[in-house]
Chain A
Amino acid sequence: DSGVTQTPKHLITATGQRVTLRCSPRSGDLSVYWYQQSLDQGLQFLIQYYNGEERAKGNILERFSAQQFPDLHSELNLSSLELGDSALYFCASSSWVDSGNTIYFGEGSWLTVV
């Protein structure tokens, strides 16, 4: 158990809809990262937050957005969903103080768009 918690574990929704994926980082971790893994793309970095502020952005679509709240949990919002958005979405967290910023991953949220 990495200590990173993601909900929901599985989600099925229709095209055009909007979903929110939630991540609780390890206790005290200030950095949160979001990754997408689809069958043909491997693990793709989407976005990183550090202590509530966006720190780095990867290949995140404009239809996707994220935020990190004062209690350090994070949400990834996916809107106007398309079939191609079906993927595993991973959240990860890290802490300089606790682990020299080694990144630990949650078990992911499976999103299926039908």
Chain B
Amino acid sequence: DAKTTQPPSMDCAEGRAANLPCNHSTISGNEYVYWYRQIHSQGPQYIIHGLKNNETNEMASLIITEDRKSSTLILPHATLRDTAVYYCIVRVVNNAGNMLTFGGGTRLMVKP
């Protein structure tokens, strides 16, 4: 699986949008971009994933550049409960499943 690069930490004001960048310049055509977060030693929580189109769900939006070399996770109205480590992971998906390889992630601190 391709490696990703994320800033180690970011701050965001409560109620504002949090935009978390991820670089995956060596991504292959069959690799998806996944985002997970981990809130203080809880189990990693799935947020969203995409292949080439932008995606949105009830938690977040995922914007993938046209060349697929980078992406941005957007939390539209960050709350204090969104303080967590956010992981961007690229992964090939097949019918038996492939593991996720976690990097260091971005530690997002949402401040009042």
Contact = CB atoms under 8 A, between A and B. Distances in A.
Interface residues of B, number: 22
Interface in B93-109: 93-104
Interface in A11-44: 30-31, 33, 35, 37, 42-44
Contacts of A35: 102
Given A100-B93, A102-B49, A43 B99 contact: no
Contact of B97 (A31, A37, A107): A31
Contacts, number: 68
B43 interface: yes
Contacts of B43: 2, 4, 90, 92, 105-108
Size class of the A contact interface (CB-based, 8 Å): 20 to 34
Contacts of B45: 2, 105
Nearest to A108: B43
Given A42-B104, A88-B41, A108-B41, A56 B46 contact: no
A103 B41 contact: no
Question: Top 5 closest A-B pairs, CB basis?
Answer: A105-B43, A31-B97, A43-B102, A96-B95, A101-B97
Interface of B: 34, 38, 41-46, 49, 87, 93-104
15 contacts: A2-B45, A30-B97, A33-B99, A42-B103, A45-B100, A45-B102, A88-B41, A96-B94, A96-B96, A101-B94, A103-B97, A105-B44, A105-B46, A107-B43, A108-B41
